[in-house]
Structure 1
C-alpha cells in the first residue's frame, strides 16, 4: 500500500517541522520552496531571526500564543539532541537565560511567571554588567533558552534528506483559485504538481497564494534588521529592553536587533536602522563603542494581528491545510504548530485544543 503523499508549500522552519512530523507519521513528503531551503540569502525569517525560544513579553499575548510557544519550547532540547545524533549538525542550543530591563510591567511579568511556573528573580541590571537607562530594576529568567536558526535549518534539511523528503527548490506556485478539492497545483513555469494533501507554510507569501480563495488571511511581510558583533568580552545572557534584544552566541558573536518595518517584500537594509540599532546596543553595552559591526542583515516575518497564526483546514478546499502567519515566533511556535496541524489533518485528537488558532476566515 502506497504512503499518503503530502506536499508542503514553504521550506522555512515551520514547513520543515511540519515535514518532520508527517514523516514520523508515515507520510511521503515533498517540500516546494520558492528559494532554497536553509539558504541564508533568501530574505525569509527562518534563518534571519535571533532564535530566542521565548515569546519576549508573554504576559502581553493571548493564551493561544503562549500555549503554542510553551509546548514548543519544551521540545527543542530533545529535538536538537536528536538532530546532532542523526545528522552531525549542532544547533547551538543553550540555556543562556533572559534579562529583562525596564520599562515593563514588573507586576504583570511576575504574576505571569508564577502562573506558568517559569523561574524568575527580580534583580539589579548593574549586577549583570549592563547599563539600564530606564532604571536598574530588572527581571531575570534563568530557564530561557536560545538556538542558532541557520544551524537548526541545516540540521533539519539534512534530516529530511535522510528520510527521503523531496525538495523542489526555486519553484514558485501560481495563486490558487477557489475549488472543492485541490488535485494539482500549477507552478509559474508551467509544471503541474500533484499530491493527496497540501499544507501552506509559506509565511509572508501565504496571502498571495490564497488571496483568490475563501481563506482571507490577514498576513503581510514585516521586515526586521539585525546587527552582528564579535566583542572582546561578550554578554553571558540574553538581554531585552523595550523591543530591542541582544543575544550572545556560543562562539563569541553577539546579535543586536530587531526592527518591525512595514515595507512590503523589501528585504534590504538601511543606514538609518543600522545607526539606530548601534546606539541601542551601545546604550546597554558601552563596551561596544568602537567595535566593528561585522554584518547587517534583514528578514521578512509574516506579520499577523496579535502574533496569532492560522493553523487548520482551509474553509472550502477539503485537502488543503494552513500552518502560517507566526509573525515573530515562527521558530518558537514551530514544533507545536506542526504537531497540531498534522493532528488536524489526520483527524486525531490534538495534544492542544486547535480552536484558538482557527483563523476567522
Structure 2
C-alpha cells in the first residue's frame, strides 16, 4: 500500500454513491467499513428510473455536465465488469431518448455545440415509425440516440455482491449512524446503533438524510428530501423500443418488457408513502404517452426521496474545519447518472491522484451554513 494512503475509511450510506465509493476504495486495497441504517441500495438508488442522463441536460450547468458525460462513457464498462465479477447483469440498456413538445427546444438544440453528444431534431413521422406505441397528438421531437438506462435494483445487487467478495470491505446493514466521533480536531469515526466505528477518514453519502447527520455538528447542508413516485407496467419485450419523455413525465423500457413511468416531484419531508393522487396522475401520463397502457396492469407503485440540492450540484470533498470528514451527497435527480464520476472524483481526492475533472465546483467550501 502506498505511503500516506488511508488504511481505514468509514462510509455512511449504502446507496449508489456509498457502494460505488466503497468499490473504488476497496479495489485499491483500502480497508473500508460501510454503514447503512437499512439494507444497502434500498432508498433512492433503488427507487429511481435509471436513465443515464439528466432528464434535460441542457438545463444544467457545466459542473453537472462534466460528471454526467464521464459517467455516461463509463457505464457500459461498469455494467460489464460487475456482470463478469458477480454474475448479476445491471442491464445497461442503450435505447436512446425522444423528447416531445419541449418548451425550450431551441435551447436543447443549441446545447450539443459545446458538449460531446449527439442530439438532433427529428420529424414526427420518424418518431411514430420508430415508436409505434406512442400516443397521437405530439407535434415535435428531438432525439439523443446514445442514451442508456441501467436497471438500478440489479446494479445495487451487483455492487453489494462485488463488495461482499472483497476481504478488505465490511458491510454493516441495519446499523444507524447517530453522530460523528471527533478527537484532536479530526473526525475519526461514527457512533452507530451497534457501537463505535473508528476510521481515519469518514465519507458521508447518506443521500436525503445527509443534512440531518451534518446538523449534529452544527453545520447546515442545503440538501432536503424531494419525494418522487413511480409506477411499473409489464408489457411485451418489444412494446417500447426507446425511452420517451413529454410534459415532465417519462417512459423507460427494460429488456424484459417492464415499463417504468415517472415521476412526481413533491416536498413532503421524509414521508415515502405512495399516494392515490400520484397513482392517478402517473396513470394519466402513461396513457397519454402510450395509450395501450390503459389496458395494462400496474404491477408496482412506489416512492423514493431524492437529495435535493441547489442547482443539482453535488457536494464532493472534505468539509472545511472538520478534517477527516468528506462529503459525497446532494445529487438531487441525478444520483445514478453522476455516481460513477462522483465516486471516482472522491477517490482521486482522498487518495491523492489527479482528479478526473476540476473538483472546485463540488467543494463544500463556502457552500455550507
TM-score tier after normalising by the smaller chain length = over 0.9
Residue 270 (1) aligns with residue 271 (2): no
C-alpha spacing 1:340/1:214, structure 2 compared with 1 (3 Å): farther
* 2:143 alignment partner in structure 1: 140
Give the Cα separation in 1 of the matches to 2:103 and 2:349: 37
Indicate whether 1:19 and 2:27 are aligned: no
Q: Whole-Å Cα distance in 2 between the matches of residues 21 and 104 of structure 1?
A: 40
- CA distance 1:18–1:290, shift in 2 (3 Å): same
Partner of 2:11: 8
Please give the root-mean-square deviation of Cα atoms over the aligned residues, in Å: 1.7
Counterpart check, 1:78 vs 2:82: no
Secondary structure, in 3 states, of the residue corresponding to 1:281?
Answer: helix
Q: Give me the TM-score of the superposition, normalised by structure 1.
A: 0.94
Q: State the Cα distance separating 1:310 from its structure 2 match.
A: 0.5
- Match of 1:35? 38
Deviation at 1:316, TM superposition (A): 1.2
Matched, 1:126 2:131: no
Give the secondary-structure state (helix, strand or coil) at the position aligned to 2:18: helix
Distance 2:181 2:91 in 1: 42
Q: Normalising by structure 2, report the TM-score.
A: 0.92
Distance 2:235 2:181 in 1: 52
Is 1:177–1:213's contact at 8 Å kept on the other side of the alignment? no
- Structure 1 residue 343 corresponds to structure 2 residue 348: yes
Q: How does 1:101-250 map to 2 (within 5 A)?
A: 101-123=100-122, 124=124, 125-127=127-129, 128-129=131-132, 130-131=134-135, 133=137, 135-164=138-167, 165-176=169-180, 180-188=185-193, 191-213=195-217, 215-232=219-236, 234-250=239-255
Deviations 1:219-275 (A, max 9, x none): 111111001111346211001112211001100110001011111111110001000
C-alpha distance in 2, partners of 1:270/1:92? Answer: 29
Matched residue SS, 2:179:
coil
> Per residue, is there more strand in 1 or in 2?
2
- 1:5-62 per-residue CA deviation (whole Å, 9 max, x = no partner) reads 11100010000111111112221111000001134xxxx1011110000111111111
SS in 2 for 1:211: helix
Unaligned runs of 5+ in 1: none
Deviations 1:318-355 (A, max 9, x none): 11100001111111101110111111112332111000
* CA distance in structure 2 between the partners assigned to 1:322 and 1:201 by the alignment: 6
Q: What secondary structure is seen at the aligned counterpart in 2 of 1:261? A: coil
Structure 2 stretches lacking a partner, 5+ long = none
Distance 1:297 1:340 in 2: 31
Contact 2:181–2:188 (CA under 8 A) maintained in structure 1: no
Deviations 1:44-95 (A, max 9, x none): 1011110000111111111101111111111110011111111100111111
Deviations 1:267-316 (A, max 9, x none): 11000100000001101111111211111111111111211110000111
1:286 equivalent in alignment to 2:288: no
Q: Report the Cα distance in structure 2 between the residues aligned to 1:183 and 1:357, rounded to whole angstroms.
A: 23
Which residue number corresponds to residue 259 of structure 2?
Answer: 254
SS in 1 for 2:178: coil
Cα distance in 1, alignment partners of residues 230 and 339 from structure 2: 21
Conserved 8 A contact 2:182-2:189: no
